[in-house]
Structures are given as structure tokens and as C-alpha cells.
Amino acid sequence: MRLKEIDSIRGIALFGIFLVNMLDFHSPVMYMSLDNWWKDSLDRFVLAFIDVVAQASFYPLFAFLFGFSMILFREQAMKKRLSFPCLWTRRMVALLAIGLIHAFFVWHGDILITYAATGALLLLFRDASSRTWLIAAISCYVPHVIIAILIGMAGHVGQHGAEKLAQEAMRNYQQGTISDIFWQRLHDWMYVNGTEGFLFIVMTLLSFALFGGYVAQKRAVLSMRTIKRVALGSFFIGLPLKLLPYWAGKNEWTEYVQDMFGGPALALFYAAILWLLSQKNGRLFDYVAAVGRLSITNYIVQSIVCTFIFYSYGLGLYGTVRPFVGTVWALAIYSLQVAASCQWLKHFSIGPIEWGWRAVTYGHRPLFHRRR
């Protein structure tokens, strides 16, 4: 069962994630602050805009939709009298395989591996009540409250760069061999996901996914009035928190609060306002819904195109592209994906990677060409 509203929100969330990922595609952003690298006022404005509007707001939204979609998938499996645990397990194994290929042979910033782990944990709640889903979602987020308090008690810690690691990434991605790029990609993945990092990310995504599943189970009783209140409240909470580093100074505590509390609040605002808008402007949202229906294919294509542009086996532009120019490229690539997705769905019922994912899930080849 597909909901156009969910596909539309997923399509827009993919664009928000792409804006953030683009900085990582063309610069060693994980090792150094681009504010210290690019001094032009236009570039600094673009960095601030992405930081406030997109950073840490769209991946929670995507995780929310992941949990929401799991409930829809479970309902559909039950209607067809199929084993939901078996289907979901195969679905997550296939997602893990796609993620492993993407992470280690295309781009280190893969999120699919983490979603596969999150989905495996969601299976533990398959028979739980909606109330349990909500309690578990809140419980998974309590550690972030504790961490924020501890960072605050420790004092405002300044930012520390990693210039040597940034230079290594620059050298390998811009001029290195295929082997150099592979080992750099592996190093970057381990830098983010090593030791407790992977568990930290999974538990964060799990909280958002559980909340999405809770909302999906309660969607029948959600009124437009309630959604409007959620949009209004989350906006007035989220925006000030996202702006916190800009009026209180950038340090470890303000940026943690910005990302871990302001980001999810703004994600909730996006979910609510996009749902409301999709009820009124169906034609416009049909276009982004097409991108959402092919979300994994479009996500992988973004990585393939951008790594070709920036890595040495392609154009080798890594480290030379300004944030403003990179953002313009992101807009152009996404616009092409909107057009391509709409055209694709005129002839095919599903995306190529989604087709393989569904084939593994159900154990047979699904319909690919659209019936006339």
C-alpha cells in the first residue's frame, strides 16, 4: 500500500539529505569546518542556510518515514496472509547488502547499513502496542538528554579541527588511485561508525523510526487541526534551537543541542507542514512523489554521479568546489532526477534497485514494466 503523501515527503527529504551530503561529496567536511575554509560571504550564507534548514533535520524525517512505512508494510502482509517477520527479515538483509556495496565501493556516507540494523531492531516491536512504540521512542532518546547535560556541565568546549586527516582525504580523493580511494573510503566510514559511533547512530534512528511507527498506528485519529498544532509548535521550538550556535556562539554544547534537539523538532515541522500542503496542491507533489517512489535508486545515483564528478577516477574536482557552486549542482541534479523519475514511472512500475529489493523480499520477480 502506497500513500502519495508519504512518497512526497520522502522525495523532499531525499533532497534535504542531498543538500547536506553534497558538502561531504566535494569537501572533507567531517574533518574540518568549511567556515574556516571558504571566506566568501555567499559561501558562508549557503553553509549557514544548510546548517539551519537541512542539517540534522532530514535524516530524522527519513527515519520517521522508515518506521511509518514499516507499519504499512506489516498491514499489507497481514492482508495477504503472509509472514511479516520473514518478509521483513529478508527485506532488511537485502537492504544491508545494498548498503555494503554502496558504502565500500561508492561512497562512505552510506546510511542504508544503519537503516538495516534499525529495521532489525524494529522487528522486536512487531507485536507491541502503539503505546509501547511511543515509550520506546522516548526511552531511546533519553541518552541524548543526558549527554547534553554532561556537555553543558563540562563547559563550552571549542571546536577542534583535524587538518592532517582533511589533507589526506583531499590527496586521496582528488589525485589517488582506485586503491587509495577505497582505503580512504573505508577509513572515513570507520571514522564515523567505529566503536560506539554505529550504535549511537542506530539508537538515534531507532527513536525516530519508533515514533514514525507510532504515528502510523494512530493516523486514523489524527485530525488536520492536530497536525496544524504540531506544525506550529515544532516550528517555534525547532527554529530557535537550530539558530542556537549563531546567537550563543559555536561550541560543542550549542551544536549538540542544535543537531539532536533542534533538528528533530524541525523535522517534525517538515512532516506536518508537508502533509498539510500535499492535501491542497496535489499536482506539484506528484513530481516529488515520483522521486520518493524511487528513493533508493535516486539515493544511489546521487552518490555515483557526485563521486564521479569529484573523485580522481572522474573529473577530480574534490576540494575545489565552493559550497555555493556545490549547492547549485545539487539543485540541478535533483531537478534532473525529478524529471527522470516522472518519465521512468510512465513506463515502469518500480525503480531498478527497488525491483531487486522487492524480488528478494517476496522471493519472486515483481512486475517491472507498467501494464498498458
Nearest Cα to Cα of residue 185 among 177, 209, 266: 177
In a domain, 370, yes or no: no
* Residue type (1 letter), 23: L
In a domain, 371, yes or no: no
Residue with cell string 542544535: 258
Rounded-to-integer distance, Cα 201 and Cα 136, Å: 16
In a domain, 369, yes or no: no
Which of 249-256's residues contact partners 24+ apart within 8 Å by CB, and which partners?
249/156, 250/159, 251/156, 251/157, 251/158, 251/159, 252/151, 252/156, 252/157, 252/158, 252/159, 253/148, 253/151, 253/152, 253/156, 253/157, 254/156, 256/147, 256/148, 256/151
Q: Under a CB-based contact definition with an 8 Å cutoff, are residues 319 and 27 in contact?
A: yes
Q: pLDDT tens for residues 178-213?
A: 999 999 999 999 999 987 789 999 999 999 999 999
Rounded-to-integer distance, Cα 55 and Cα 192, Å: 16
88-92, 94-98, 166-170: least confident range: 166-170
Q: pLDDT tens for residues 219-245?
A: 888 888 999 999 999 999 999 999 999
Q: pLDDT tens for residues 132-168?
A: 999 999 999 999 999 999 988 876 555 555 788 999 9
In a domain, 98, yes or no: yes
41-50, 104-113, 150-159, 261-270: least confident range: 150-159
The grid cell for 50 is 544548510
Is a pLDDT exceeding 90 seen at residue 170? yes
pLDDT at position 222, please?
84
Q: pTM for the full model?
A: 0.94
Rounded-to-integer distance, Cα 359 and Cα 38, Å: 46
Those residues with Cβ within 8 angstroms of residue 371's Cβ, 6 or more apart along the chain or in another chain:
349
| Tally of structural domains, the chain | 1
Domain that holds residue 357: 4-362
In a domain, 112, yes or no: yes
In a domain, 372, yes or no: no
In a domain, 368, yes or no: no
In a domain, 367, yes or no: no
